[in-house]
Amino acid sequence: MQLEWIKSTQNEWLNPRRTNWDSVSGYGVYIIWTTGTILGGPTYLKVGQGDIRSRMQAHLRDTRITRHGELRFTFAKVNQWQMNGVERYLGDVLQPLVAERFPDSPHIRVNLPNAA
């Protein structure tokens, strides 16, 4: 499945501290990472699904995520009936540091954003 990962109007990955949250709406899947690298690549912190604005704002209050420095995120709109499978795939592939559990659903393979 091909997703359209959202970037800023300057074609950069979104910075949650500089995002105009009034412009973010809808449901889908999201990825949060830090620009500080471990082993030469981005450190994925969280993947999830739901109402993008409310979920991201909640994560910005979570010190398990915010303590990692400069954050970036992206999201893609996904049909509700596909969100569990997409989130499961992203969680299994990206192995985020903050991961309580992922949906018990078959993977739905998607393209990954190039977060590096």
Among residues 99, 106, 109, the alpha carbon closest in space to that of 31 is found at 99
pLDDT of residue 10 exceeding 70: yes
Tens of pLDDT, residues 35-46: 765 556 788 999
Q: What is the mean pLDDT of the chain?
A: 90
Tokens of 46: 């969280």
Contact 80, 51 (CB under 8 A): no
Q: For residue range 44-99, list pLDDT tens digits in order.
A: 999 999 999 999 999 999 999 999 888 999 999 999 999 999 999 999 999 999 98
Asked if pLDDT for residue 6 goes beyond 90, the answer is yes
CB proximity list for 83: less than 8 A, separation 6 or greater: 27, 28, 29, 49, 50
